[in-house]
A = this chain, B = another copy of it.
Amino acid sequence: MTLLIDSLLDELVTRALAEDLAGGDLTTEATIAEGERAVGRAVAHSHLVVAGGDVFARAFWGVDRGLRVERLKADGARVEPGEVLFTVEGSARSILFGERTALNFIQRLSGVATLTRRYVDALPEGSRTRIADTRKTTPGLRALERHAVRAGGGFNHRNDLGSAVLIKDNHIVAAGGIRPAVERARAYAPHTTRVEIEVETLSGLAQALAAGADVILLDNFEDAELEQAVTLAQGRAVLEVSGGVTLERIAGLGALGIDVISVGALTHSAPAADIGLDLVALE
């Protein structure tokens, strides 16, 4: 499980640090002497799944390359309230300069991982259905949030508009129907890419299957229709469910034989995980 390579993480971190520290830190500069050393402990204040240890560390290194960060919990670990996730040791000033930025990253990413884990855990035992994310990510943080989804046991959908085909309503209309839309996409897209199409009815599904779509997104289907859809498809295409999927519906959906359930909320509506930094001065 990877996050992002060093140089790309550093770009994100630099921008985030600039928001908080371009004008310095009046309080810390005024009250903490330059030579002071301390150790900080990032502690979970609720049940959560960790994600973002790499970016947490690099946020501190963007402030001061001399800080030592230790990761006690790997990304993907389930953590109880009170458990220590990471420690940071070095200049007390530097730790305070970087604290908020590092926490803002780790709280958001662990929030995404924790919510994803709830969806994944709601699947019935032995279900082979995937919980997947969408492109409804926070502008600027897509790579990090996709990583967090994986840390929570979820799967990624296509990364961007250039990495796979997903034919929607407007594309179908413009192409003159489901079959020509699938054919045009197949003729245009890289041979490494599956062709997915979104349908809203069982009849749409039948057409999409006939057109040879590899993946079919069943938009806003009810449970009964989904059962029929699985029967109809007979494994000829990967079936994805999306739209109106709440945590409560997951157990039921996971039993229907659907391949993928994609959930925008994993990234666009996950509440932040509650994580704080306890600082102790070192003499």
Complex interface: chain B residues within 8 A of A226 (CB)? none
Separation of A169 and B191 alpha carbons in the complex (Å): 20
B63 and A25: CB pair below 8 A?
A: no
Q: Does A256 contact B (CB under 8 A)?
A: no
B21 and A136: CB pair below 8 A?
A: no
Complex interface: chain B residues within 8 A of A265 (CB)? 271-272
Q: Select A62's contact among B6, B173, B214, beta carbons within 8 Å.
A: B6
Q: Mark A1-43, 1 if CB is under 8 A from B, else 0.
A: 1101111101111111111111111111111111010100000
The residue on B at minimum CB distance from A172 is B31
A20 and B268: CB pair below 8 A?
A: no
B26 and A185: CB pair below 8 A?
A: yes
B31 and A279: CB pair below 8 A?
A: no
The residue on B at minimum CB distance from A272 is B268
Q: Does A89 contact B (CB under 8 A)?
A: no
B141 and A139: CB pair below 8 A?
A: yes
The residue on B at minimum CB distance from A239 is B191
Stretch at the interface among A99-107, A118-126, A228-236: A99-107
